[in-house]
Amino acid sequence: MLHKCMFSGSGGQGSALMAKLICLGATKEDLKVVMTQTYGIEQRGGDSTAYVILSDACIGSPIVENDASIAVALSQSTYNNCFEGVVPNGKLFTNSSIVENSKEANGFDQFFLPASDMGVKLGTVRCANMVMLGAVLAETAILKLETIEEVVKEVFGAKKPKLVDLNIEALRAGYAAMKEEVDNG
């Protein structure tokens, strides 16, 4: 099993946090994992992409270069890079609340989820990344939802306990929405 993942968004949207949670979850499930990231020079608002490779075997290279099996585009400015970076039979998860100019996928699956709108309904747009992460888990099964919930409790529990329930609720909402889309699609 090998998954190359690309989590992209504008600074402050939480793409690096999504990747970090995947990494911590992978170690809990005894998988090998490596993460790298790039980000713009702006403190907030610049594009940011975190790359994660998960495997049950040794990982030879930490590079994800136009060969992501799973990609997430949280913003319009990162969408094209994600679209071009997905391999045949891969999966692109697109935040349809923000990405208005999408393309027709050819050779890979593209899922549209209004993650930002769902976040607002949950109480804050800042949990859109957790909504999208839940959708990724539902469609790809790269890790168990329960594992990521446990990681959220560990990451936020000590310093930001008020965010634990909100983030778990957002994960579950994204997970349920993706399951519903797949069942109805």
Each domain of the chain, given as residue ranges in start order, spans 2-184
pLDDT classification of 123: cutoffs 50, 70, 90: very high
Q: How many CA atoms lie within 13 A of 19 on its CB side?
A: 27
0.95 cut: is pTM over it? no
Secondary structure class of 129 (helix, strand, coil): helix
pLDDT classification of 14: cutoffs 50, 70, 90: confident
d(CA 112, CA 90): 14
Q: Is the confidence at residue 79, as pLDDT, over 70?
A: yes
**Which tokens is 85 given?**
């970076």
N- to C-terminal Cα separation, the chain: 26
d(CA 103, CA 84): 10
- Tell me the CATH number of domain 2-184, given options 1.20.140.10, 3.40.1260.10, 3.90.1150.10, 3.40.920.10: 3.40.920.10
pLDDT average, residue stretch 88-104: 95
Query: What local confidence, expressed as pLDDT, does residue 54 receive?
Result: 93
Closest CA to 133 of 41, 20, 39: 20
d(CA 118, CA 103): 22
Query: What local confidence, expressed as pLDDT, does residue 46 receive?
Result: 77
Beta strand 109-113 with 86-95 is parallel
Q: Is the confidence at residue 131, as pLDDT, over 70?
A: yes
Q: Which of 52-61, 123-132, 176-185 has the highest mean pLDDT?
A: 123-132
- Beta carbons within 8 Å of 77's beta carbon, 6+ residues apart: 10, 47
Question: 154-177 pLDDT, tens per residue?
Answer: 998 878 888 899 999 999 999 999
What's the Cα-to-Cα distance from 54 to each of 62, 102, 131, 146, rounded to whole Å? Answer: 10, 28, 21, 18
Secondary structure class of 31 (helix, strand, coil): coil
Q: Which residues are 73's β-sheet partners? A: 8, 94
Closest CA to 166 of 183, 149, 147, 184: 149
Q: Is the confidence at residue 58, as pLDDT, over 90?
A: no
Q: Is the confidence at residue 44, as pLDDT, over 70?
A: no
The residue count of the chain comes to: 185
Secondary structure class of 149 (helix, strand, coil): helix
- Give the H/E segment covering residue 163: helix 162-184
